[in-house]
Amino acid sequence: MRQISRILIANRGEIARRIIRACHEEDLEAVAVYSEADRSALHVRAADFAVPIGAAPPGESYLRIDRLIAAAHHAGAQAIHPGYGFLAERAEFAEAVLDAGLGFVGPGPEAMRAMGDKTEARRRMEAAGVPVVPGTTEDLTSLDQALSVAESLGYPVMVKAAAGGGGKGMRVVGTPRELSGALELAQSEARKAFGDDAVYLEKFIERPRHVEFQILADGSRTVHLGERECSIQRRHQKLVEEAPSVAVSAELRDRMGRAAVAAAHAVGYLGAGTCEFLLADNGSFYFLEMNTRIQVEHPVTEMILGVDLVREQLRIARGLPMTPGDGPHSPNGWAIECRITSEDPAHGFLPSTGRVRYLRAPGGPGVRWDGGVETGDEVTLFYDSLLGKLIVWAPDRPQAIGRMLRALNELLVIGVATNQGFHRRLLDDPAFRSGEFDIQFLDRRPDLLSPPHDPELATAIAVAAALAEDDARRARRPTVADAAAAASSAWIRVGRKDALR
């Protein structure tokens, strides 16, 4: 068992806040890191300690391996949790952490390399008997090679970044004439996002579902915790996730789950990970990739199984056995997650920046808000647009949809535009309610992405904004503290916030 009492979180926003909560429930101290833009961010105020790591651009702060390791040593942390995004799936980061004598909350560098290189992952999955989408197992080296492969696969095909993820470096190609331009764009995007312009080709599966399986491995056992449905996507970016999937029967869950466990075994996986599959209408499925980290959408699995996946990560990193048994783990009820982003659907989902003048999180039975900002926080262009995740649980899917609509109506964010309206339109849509959708659903339904102009609604929003600003101004008035609460650590956090200004 590894002795760990203090963990540095090499991330920011809602996932840093989420990990801090798990640390505190495991009786561990949490160390936050922050850029100049995040000096008074929510995750900084919530942590036990906070260390500055550089300027606002990620390349000068959150992507600096040397500064993160130095911060861990400075704060006396024994391990680092990478969260998701930034360096979370970079094998060189995990390797540097281990070389520095620190623990890494995640799989080993070799497993990350194997699954991070998509062509290598395809080779390993084929060897392990896991179904893969027909395509190349080597990086493309020329346009002629790409044309030959595409011809053998049959159009349409997908150009994909070998080091990719999150929808970056991906292009669908319908004809030979489109291939050259798609290659150049995918390589350019991959180079900027991952520092690696290697790409490969896959057969494009039309109208599949995106279904992923949660994996946990503690070195002695590897189990799957069922599936998540992630087919509601815009430009390969997930917007809504739910668990379980309307398309997965108990028999199919068992087959896909066994394939996911085989994929984890193929690379000697340790910790929490996710195997992503494309699921066709006829029940055939294909390995897509494995995310070697905690997923943004992990809460829906937690809600239907009653397991804390981040706490399981912390246990495994300390050499403790995971809590879930061998299974099978049958879903209890239904959970849905909506990603609330500072994007403006009325203007093509352009990022919206500024100060959050007022934020009211929803509550009530079966409602969870994993937020990364609160009233008074600044939203900048330096980082991801995710403000928070709204998650609901209910006994069945229709009730979960109704509960999510109620929660969306309760959520109020003033100061930046959000995508709440899109989520309301989607959840009200008959096709979504019936479960008749796939990963190209929003491509066919642009009406759900753009709100219709409604003068009365615009007036109502303006009135609500004015009332919210008045409420926030009243809340900022000084009050006399209760003497019984004088010893609370909240005073330490307030003091740190003031000192960091």
**pLDDT score, position 461:** 57
The two three-digit tokens of residue 455, written as one number: 């003068």
* Active-site residue, selected from the candidate residues 253, 293, 318, 368: 293
The 3-class SS string of 165-216 reads CCCCCEEEECCHHHHHHHHHHHHHHHHHHHCCCCEEEEECCCCCEEEEEEEE
Q: Are 303 and 243 in contact (CB under 8 A)?
A: yes
**Same fold across 108-131+207-332 and 343-476:** yes
The one-letter code for the residue type at 38 is D
pLDDT tens readout for residues 398-442: 999 999 999 999 999 999 999 999 999 999 999 999 999 999 999
pLDDT tens readout for residues 28-51: 999 999 999 999 999 999 999 999
Top pLDDT among 208 and 451 is at 208
CA distances (Å), 317 to each of 68, 102, 320, in order?
18, 11, 7
- Residue 397 zone, left/alpha/beta (φ > 0; ψ -120 to 50; rest): alpha
Is 425 part of the annotated catalytic residue set? no
Q: Does domain 6-105 have CATH number 3.40.50.1220?
A: no
pLDDT at 483 over 50: no
Instruction: Kindly write down the DSSP assignment for every residue of 347-370, as one continuous string.
Output: GTTEE--EE--EEE---STTEEEE
Least Cα distance to 423 among 407, 437, 438 occurs for 407
- CA pair distance 212, 231, nearest whole angstrom: 10
CA distances (Å), 442 to each of 172, 237, 346, 418, 439, in order?
15, 11, 15, 18, 8
Instruction: Kindly write down the DSSP assignment for every residue of 213-282, as one continuous string.
Output: EEEEE-SS-EEEEEEEEEEEEETTEEEEEEES-TT--HHHHHHHHHHHHHHHHHTT--EEEEEEEEE-TT
Q: Spell out the domain ranges in the chain.
A: 6-105, 108-131+207-332, 134-203, 343-476
User: Residue 10 — very low, low, confident or very high, per pLDDT cuts 50/70/90?
Assistant: very high
Crossing angle of helices 143-153 and 176-194, in 10° steps, is 120
Spell out the CATH class of 134-203.
Answer: alpha beta
What does the mean pLDDT of the chain come to?
91
- C-alpha dihedral over 357, 463, 405, 294, to 10 degrees? -10
pLDDT tens readout for residues 379-402: 999 999 999 999 999 999 999 999
Q: Are 79 and 102 in contact (CB under 8 A)?
A: yes
CA distances (Å), 332 to each of 258, 301, 329, 393, in order?
20, 10, 9, 9
Write down the CATH number for the domain with range 343-476.
3.30.470.20
In this prediction the pTM is 0.84
CA distances (Å), 307 to each of 242, 260, 323, 328, in order?
16, 19, 8, 14
Segment among 30-34, 70-74, 216-220, 474-478 with least mean pLDDT? 474-478
CATH architecture designation of domain 108-131+207-332:
2-Layer Sandwich (3.30)
User: For 341-354, what is the mean pLDDT?
Assistant: 94
User: Which range among 57-61, 470-474, 489-493 has the greatest average pLDDT?
Assistant: 57-61
pLDDT at 466 over 90: no
Pairing of strands 29-35, 6-9: parallel
pLDDT at 86 over 90: yes
